[in-house]
Amino acid sequence: MEQKSSLSTAPVTLMDYRKRICEAMNYINRHLGRELSLDEIAKSAAFSPFHFHRIFTTLTGESVAAFTRRLRLERAANQLLQKPGESITTIAMDCGFSSSQNFAKAFRQFFSMSPTDYRKSKTGNTGSKAGNVFHPEFAYSAGMVLPSSPFFQNLKKRRELNMEGSIQQIPAYRVAYIRKLGAYGHETCEKAFGELMAWAGPKGYPGSETVLGVYWDNPEVTPPEKCRMDACITLPEGTEAEEGVSVQKLRGGPYAVCHFEVSDADFPKAWDEAFRWFMEKGYACDDSPCFERYHNNSEEHPEGKWVVDICIPLKPA
């Protein structure tokens, strides 16, 4: 079910997103021969780096890194067939690989054969685990995109989870928090919330306080051991934090709020569905972290599920 809201947000259409993602893809395609940073690619399409990776993956079904690697390998495969006299090392360097060894390993994983065997086969077969090749240079031309292209069919996947989406004005939260670094998942969250509740429990929290999980990084971009996760609980007015916890303020404002009832295993799917809904509506991300807002303890749910909101910050109008 989708709820209406009178809140205004910066107007960004899905067509705008598609156009800009095509621009990013084309930029990658034009610079495959050298190292590309995520910030550089995002800037080429007028995206903030903060949420660019998630937007790119939602629209294309591939991460930025996977898309770039695939194009490099496909270009190399074409060159292997079109330039029979060119050395494999030269082709590897021309396609942006740091060494012939790294190229050979990636090529074998993608095409299930070595570059030498591929060249000898002369089949020109570009099939791979990634599916049919789609060339982004032709997806955007003279202001037109191709919404029927397989490039954008990822948005049309059937929803796997029940979700209620709405736009809400969320107040600024002043929170006590415990921060943990590590791969996002049950273990990191359990440690963070375990420490937070060990501090909060003796004080009678949580009562009417709000419990949040803040995720600062995209695990597809940031190394797992460097991902930051904050377990948070709102502080009553006038309450100061004590030794063992820190205090911060989470920005208030308009958020896309996607409400779910999910098991531990369904959280990744819930995040995917939330961003898919967000993109379908054409909202624009603000440069603030997303967070989960919990309405229960799963241990008290008859099916062991979490009642949770995934909150995505929006640019104010």
Amino acid at 70: R
- pLDDT at 11 (0 to 100): 56
- pLDDT at 304 (0 to 100): 94
- pLDDT at 227 (0 to 100): 85
Q: Which residues pair with 257 in a beta bridge?
A: 166, 311
Cα–Cα nearest to 145, from 284, 21, 10, 11: 21
Phi and psi torsions of 195, nearest 5°: -70, -40
- pLDDT at 154 (0 to 100): 56
- pLDDT at 315 (0 to 100): 80
Residue 302 DSSP class:
T
Domains along the chain with CATH numbers = 66-121 (1.10.10.60), 164-313 (3.20.80.10)
Cα–Cα nearest to 56, from 44, 163, 122, 249: 44
Is the CA virtual torsion 271, 274, 280, 285 positive or negative? Answer: negative
Residue 6, token pair as written in the block = 């009178």
- pLDDT at 189 (0 to 100): 93
- pLDDT at 153 (0 to 100): 53
- pLDDT at 222 (0 to 100): 66
- pLDDT at 285 (0 to 100): 79
Residue 172 DSSP class:
P
Q: Give the three-class secondary structure for 10.
A: coil
Q: Are strands 173-181 and 228-234 parallel, antiparallel or unpaired?
A: antiparallel
Average pLDDT of each block of 10 consecutive residues along the chain (317 residues)?
48 73 86 92 89 87 90 87 87 92 93 91 44 29 36 57 94 92 90 92 82 85 80 85 82 96 93 87 82 94 96 85
